[in-house]
Structure 1
Amino acid sequence: MRSVVGLWRWRGNPLCRRTDRREAWLTFWAALLIVLGTPLVGWGAAEAAHEALLHTAQEQRDQRQRIWATVEHVTVLPPLDSEREAAAGAPNRNRVTAHWTGPDGSRHTGVLVLRHPVEAGSRFPVWADMHGRLTSRPMSVRSADSYSLLAGLAGAACTAGVLEAGRRTAVRLLLRRRYARWDEEWGRIGPDWGRTGTSS
């Protein structure tokens, strides 16, 4: 924005070159696109992600069910942290061999690791697909909202980054062209610089 302010202040100055004007206008339009375009892109990305995530969450709710598994055998495991001081307050893990019946009536047996203590013969809830294979909990609406917000922020940040990178690249090209013209001018008048009676 300093370039734009400088252009407006020195717009009538004969020392203001064409490349200065181009650089100032380039900065102005880049700033305008960042201010106006970035929120629109972020909003569009958030809306698209939110719709897709809600569709995925609905599919997961339709295809996953909460069922009960029965404990057959329990093995207590030490905490994951190997440091004694850190592991002193950490809960033990329980490797559980359990069986369950899937929504389609098929029987399954598997090994799970639980944080809370269980005993042989007790039951605990798990999530399974329609064929009885264990899976994760379906995505909630709150999680979909959070992920879509992150997608919108990422889209806005990427848009701002691309615009700023484009502006910097264009300014660099303008500077390179300006320096090339200076070299041409210096090559033309340099040999006569400081000599009397020469026309420069």
Structure 2
Amino acid sequence: MRAVTGLWRWRRNPLCRATDLAEAWVALVALVLIAVVAPAIGALVGFAAQDSLQQAARAEQHTHHLVTATVVRALGKEPEGDPDSRGTRQVRTRVVADWAAPDGSTHRGPVLTDLKSPHAGDHFGLWTDPRGRITTRPLDSVTATTHAVLAGFGAALVAAALVETARRLTLWRMVRRRYAHWEQAWDRAGPDWGKAGTGS
């Protein structure tokens, strides 16, 4: 990281300028922020996400119910990405099925099943809400923790990137100011440059 190289400007050197020390301080502050503050932000975001996602997982486990559905007739096959299959595409069969909701009501409708060749009377699992409406598999604790960890890492990386961007912008402004001072000094010395007796 370039922030570390800025610390080299603190070495003893008779040609060291005030701007060199300022750049070294900017590098030190950026290094501390990236090493301490960014991980702290990541941890806070991760803990907050963990708490929120675990609450959502507990709520879904109480409101999403696995019921047994019965195939009435098959409608055809179609590819669908299953979120639990980790990116692989499965060919799922669309069927008309009957199922009973947790509240006791009965339902019939088209649903997707992972049965390879469903026949009338075959049974399969179906996730529904308490009223029998089709829903998704509830979020489990391990998946919630994985998402929280990823959120924490993402927040830490974003914080570190913002600090590095701020450091680069600050150094860019300092270099521009230095070049502007050099141009002013050359403008003052320019008319007399090369003349005999200049500076004496």
1:108 paired residue number: 107
Residue 92 of structure 1 deviates from its aligned partner by 4.9
Q: Secondary structure of the residue that 1:67 maps to in structure 2?
A: strand
1:42 maps onto 2:42 in alignment: yes
2:94 paired residue number: 95
1:138 paired residue number: 138
Matched residue pairs, number? 188
Aligned-partner Cα distance in 2 for 1:179–1:53: 52
Q: Secondary structure of the residue that 1:136 maps to in structure 2?
A: coil
Aligned-partner Cα distance in 1 for 2:125–2:152: 35
Paired letter, 1:95: R
Q: Secondary structure of the residue that 2:11 maps to in structure 1?
A: helix
Q: Secondary structure of the residue that 2:137 maps to in structure 1?
A: coil
Is the 2:9–2:21 contact (alpha carbons within 8 Å) kept by the matching residues of 1?
no
Runs of 4+ in 1 over 3 A off after TM superposition: 90-93
Aligned-partner Cα distance in 2 for 1:36–1:124: 51
When the two structures are superposed, what TM-score results if normalisation uses the length of structure 2? 0.87
Q: Secondary structure of the residue that 1:120 maps to in structure 2?
A: coil
1:24 maps onto 2:24 in alignment: yes
Give the direction of change, closer, same or farther, for the CA distance of 1:42–1:79 in structure 2 (3 Å limit).
Answer: closer
Is the 1:108–1:132 contact (alpha carbons within 8 Å) kept by the matching residues of 2?
yes
Give the direction of change, closer, same or farther, for the CA distance of 1:78–1:60 in structure 2 (3 Å limit).
Answer: closer
1:5 maps onto 2:11 in alignment: no
Residue 9 of structure 1 deviates from its aligned partner by 3.8
Is the 2:113–2:124 contact (alpha carbons within 8 Å) kept by the matching residues of 1?
no
Give the direction of change, closer, same or farther, for the CA distance of 1:159–1:91 in structure 2 (3 Å limit).
Answer: closer
Residue 29 of structure 1 deviates from its aligned partner by 1.0
Residue 107 of structure 1 deviates from its aligned partner by 2.2
Give the direction of change, closer, same or farther, for the CA distance of 1:181–1:196 in structure 2 (3 Å limit).
Answer: same
Aligned-partner Cα distance in 1 for 2:20–2:49: 42
Q: Secondary structure of the residue that 1:172 maps to in structure 2?
A: helix
Q: Which runs of 5+ in 1 are unaligned?
A: 81-89
Q: Which runs of 5+ in 2 are unaligned?
A: 81-88
Residue 195 of structure 1 deviates from its aligned partner by 1.2
Is the 2:34–2:160 contact (alpha carbons within 8 Å) kept by the matching residues of 1?
yes
Paired letter, 1:166: A
1:195 paired residue number: 195
Q: Secondary structure of the residue that 1:111 maps to in structure 2?
A: strand
Residues 144-194 of structure 1: CA distance to partner in whole angstroms, max 9, x if unpaired? Answer: 110011011001100100000000010011011111111111111111112
Residues 68-119 of structure 1: CA distance to partner in whole angstroms, max 9, x if unpaired? Answer: 1111001343667xxxxxxxxx975322111212122222222122233222
Q: Secondary structure of the residue that 1:161 maps to in structure 2?
A: helix
Paired letter, 1:105: G
Give the direction of change, closer, same or farther, for the CA distance of 1:139–1:92 in structure 2 (3 Å limit).
Answer: closer
1:119 paired residue number: 119
The CA RMSD over aligned residues, in Å, is: 1.8
| Identical amino acids, percent of aligned pairs | 36
